[in-house]
Chains A and B, each alone.
Chain A
Amino acid sequence: MLTLNEVNEKYFDVLKEIGNIGAGNATTAIANMLGLRIDMSVPEVAFLPVEELGGAIGAEDEIIVGIMLGVEADIDGSMMFLMDMQSAHHIVNKLMMRDPGYSEPFNEMDLSAIKEVGNIIAGSYLSALSGLTNLTIVPSVPFVAVDMAAAILSVPAVQFGIFGDNALMINTEFSDDLGIKGHFILMPEEDSYDKILSALGIAT
């Protein structure tokens, strides 16, 4: 069986494609929601040891926003979208029509807005994955955490750590007048991971 440690270039390319299509969909959705023109960078797929995931998107103790959703139907697992605080404040301020510099702690309403954005972004990536694999993938309601990067990233680290030593993450930068850096992590259960690979025609 092919393990995540032996992941080949083909799966990498597919993830990149998911990143491309997903981020493209997400960009359009967010642009419509915020009424802005938004560009996106070409996504990068990062493949790194599980132990380094905690510091992979910045300092380990930097406070970030994580949005997590379960996925079910043809595959089981979860997914996460991560943003730095600056990006999260930027999006919330746009949505709430506040001054761009406003940076008070998020209230309940702000967190709902973040969940909604997470929902849209996650849905964009999932429909890309669905389209490429012909698998039905349904997301659960989103959950949000605002905490130290290492603590939030310990969740996917554990998930990947169960069946391998490496983690995969898609990094994308969206930009309007201020860059929004986003990171997407798909965490299929081991069986579902195999299912995705075979649906993509990668022998397992």
Chain B
Amino acid sequence: MGQMIKVGMADLKICKAPDALTTIGLGSCIGIAIYDPSTKISGLAHIMLPDSTAIRNNSNIAKFADTGIQKLYDDMIKAGANKARMVAKIAGGAKMFEMPGASSSGINVGDRNAQASRDKLKELGVKLVAEDCGLNYGRTVELYSETGEYYIKAVGKPLKII
């Protein structure tokens, strides 16, 4: 196995086989994994908010679903990924605290993050093949470029592979 490359919060990275990408402790954020099985070029973005156009302070494009996924897609194409073969898997978007009436602010942004990610992938024509979103717990994810497997680890739960 290759190297495990860490992707931070509001960050994105791509890698080639045999390396893998990971991001730790997704809460309401989404980990968007894009994989091209023909070249094994893989990318992982850790976005925090759904929409860069709704916010004044939007200089970090990796922070948002719309701009972050676009950049990840562009970087992968630039690295030689095959547009038509790319597939995506997403995880995260949890509601960490069951606070009522907080959906307008950033507290329950998880669902909106997931929806914005699905929308952007659809716009780019990248097929969403699997997802593990919502509920109320954090997730650590690992994307293996050899296989395209997306590992999801949560506290007190068995390992899930999508």
Contacts and interface: CB of A to CB of B under 8 A. Distances in A.
Interface of A: 3, 50-51, 53-54, 60-61, 63, 66, 68, 70, 77-78, 105, 140, 143-155, 157-159, 161-165, 189
Given A51-B8, A155-B107, A161 B49 contact: yes
B25 A149 contact: yes
Nearest to A160: B106
A161 B63 contact: yes
A144 B48 CA distance: 21
B105 A147 contact: no
Interface string B19-57: 000001111110000000000000000001100000111
Interface residues of B, number: 36
A9 B28 CA distance: 32
A50 B106 contact: no
B60 interface: yes
B84 interface: no
Contact of B57 (A51, A147, A159, A163): A163
17 contacts: A60-B25, A61-B140, A146-B155, A148-B140, A148-B155, A150-B9, A150-B24, A151-B139, A153-B27, A154-B28, A154-B96, A157-B48, A158-B49, A161-B10, A161-B49, A162-B55, A163-B57
A61 B109 CA distance: 21
Contacts of B11: 51
A164 B60 CA distance: 11
A51 B97 CA distance: 20
B119 to A, nearest CB: 19
Contacts of A159: 105-107
B137 interface: yes
B106 A63 contact: no
A144 B107 CA distance: 14
Contacts, number: 119
Contacts of B27: 147, 150-155
A13 B95 CA distance: 33
Residue picked from B10, B24, B97, B156, most chain A C-beta under 10 Å = B97
By Cβ-Cβ distance, the 8 closest A-B pairs, closest first, are: A151-B138, A150-B25, A154-B27, A151-B27, A148-B25, A158-B106, A151-B25, A143-B97
B10 A155 contact: no
A66 B48 contact: no
Residue picked from B11, B59, B60, most chain A C-beta under 10 Å = B60
A163 B48 CA distance: 13
Given A151-B137, A163-B56, A158 B29 contact: yes
B159 interface: no
A189 B155 CA distance: 30
B102 interface: yes
Contacts of B109: 158
Given A151-B25, A154-B26, A143 B99 contact: yes
A190 to B, nearest CB: 10
A149 B29 CA distance: 13
Contacts of A145: 96-97, 136
A143 B108 CA distance: 13
Nearest to A152: B96
A56 to B, nearest CB: 11
